[in-house]
Amino acid sequence: MAILIKTDAEIQKMRRSGEALREVHEAVRPLVVAGASTMDLENAAAAKMEALKAESAFKGYHGYPAVLCTSVNSEVVHGIPSATRVLQDGDIISIDCGVIVDGFYSDCAVTYAVGSPSPTARKLLDVTQASLEAAIQQAVPGGRLFDISATVQEMCEAEGFGVVREFVGHGIGRSMHEDPQLPNFGVRGRGPRLKPGMVLAIEPMINAGAPEVKVLPDGWTTITQDGSLSAHFEHTVAITRDGPLVLTR
Ligand code: MF3
Ligand code: CO
């Protein structure tokens, strides 16, 4: 399938979707403390979405049961919120959320430290977030898709971290997942030419150890095979004539 180009009016709508999603993340953030359960975060997100009249992009997606993915420590992505999963000092937690507003999707993930993280955890979060920011700067007209991929890979592998292969970023718009797929690894100078009106969910998923992951028997929760920590940051980014426009900031 082709990469869909959004009009300026459509990007405006996606901007509103992204703003709502940002508000959901901001409502959840204060609850990321030791003693809170991941279900507490889920409930706060669901309440905020209802107040904003933003629909969940995740709940019901292939049967996924929640509005958030809450992935703690060695969980990479798609951790399911649970009242018995209680955060502890030193944990890291990725909170991934997607909404639909006026027919347009946005998708955004942040990984937080609970209390005082280990030096390894802190570095993993900092490097992964920095790789997302550098990748966003590659989302410019005339560039190539895998410039984005290579930027993440180079920055994270330079620190000895493992780049997850099984999950990738994606185009986004009237669907959560549009073409193209956007791996977090690749060869600079290759891939489709980037054009104004493309909108991408850029989402490095980076392990402190080896890149391999496995899916638990619940069919969703994905963890690192070696038990190492994993971080995930994601923004929905429009490519405009003036450069990258982060819709979920
Ligand atoms: N943010 C994820 C993605 O980019 C979606 C989570 S899967 C879901 O694909 F089931 F929770 F929706
Ligand atoms: Co995504």
Domains of the chain (ranges; CATH) run: 8-246 (3.90.230.10)
| Cα 98 to ligand 2 centroid, rounded to whole Å | 8
pLDDT category, 81, cuts 50, 70, 90? very high
Number of residues that this document lists for the chain: 249
Compute the chain's Rg from CA coordinates: 17
Structure tokens that stand for 32 in this block? 């990321």
Ligand 1 atom 11, closest CA: 58
* Contacting residues for 143 by C-beta, under 8 A, at least 6 apart: 193, 194
Spell out the alpha helix ranges (H) of 29-159: 38-52, 119-136, 145-158
Structure tokens that stand for 67 in this block? 């509005």
Mean pLDDT of 122-136: 98
Is the shortest distance between the CB of 99 and ligand 1 below 6 Å?
no
Report the percent of the chain where pLDDT is more than 70: 100
The span from the CA of 170 to the CA of 180, in Å, is 6
Mean pLDDT of 194-220: 98
pLDDT digits (tens, 9 = 90+) for 23-56: 999 999 999 999 999 999 999 999 999 999 999 9
Helices and strands (DSSP H and E) totals, the chain: 4, 15
User: Ligand 1 pocket check: which of 70, 176, 200, 248 to mutate, most ligand atoms within 8 Å of Cβ?
Assistant: 176
| Cα 180 to ligand 1 centroid, rounded to whole Å | 16
Tell me which residue has tokens 């590659």.
138
pTM over 0.95: yes
User: Could you tell me if residue 60 is left (phi over 0), alpha (psi between -120 and 50 degrees) or otherwise beta?
Assistant: left
For residue 37, give the 3-state DSSP assignment: strand
Judge whether 141 and 239 are in contact, CB under 8 Å: yes
Judge whether 201 and 107 are in contact, CB under 8 Å: yes
| Cα 58 to ligand 1 centroid, rounded to whole Å | 6
Distance of CA 195 to the CA centre of its chain: 22
Mean pLDDT of 3-12: 98
Mean pLDDT of 195-214: 98
Judge whether 154 and 129 are in contact, CB under 8 Å: no
Mean pLDDT of 214-227: 98
Nearest residue to 30 (alpha-carbon basis) of 96, 122, 112, 118: 112
Q: Other C-beta atoms within 10 Å of 242: how many?
A: 9
pLDDT at 69: 99
HEC string of 105-130 equals EEEEEEEEECCCCCHHHHHHHHHHHH
pLDDT at 1: 75
The span from the CA of 92 to the CA of 225, in Å, is 17
User: Ligand 1 pocket check: which of 17, 42, 58, 94 to mutate, most ligand atoms within 8 Å of Cβ?
Assistant: 58
Judge whether 202 and 237 are in contact, CB under 8 Å: yes
Is the shortest distance between the CB of 69 and ligand 1 below 6 Å?
yes
pLDDT at 217: 98
If you average pLDDT over every residue of the chain, what do you get?
Answer: 98
Ligand 1 atom 5, closest CA: 58
Residues with CB under 5 A from ligand 2 (ion): 107, 201, 203
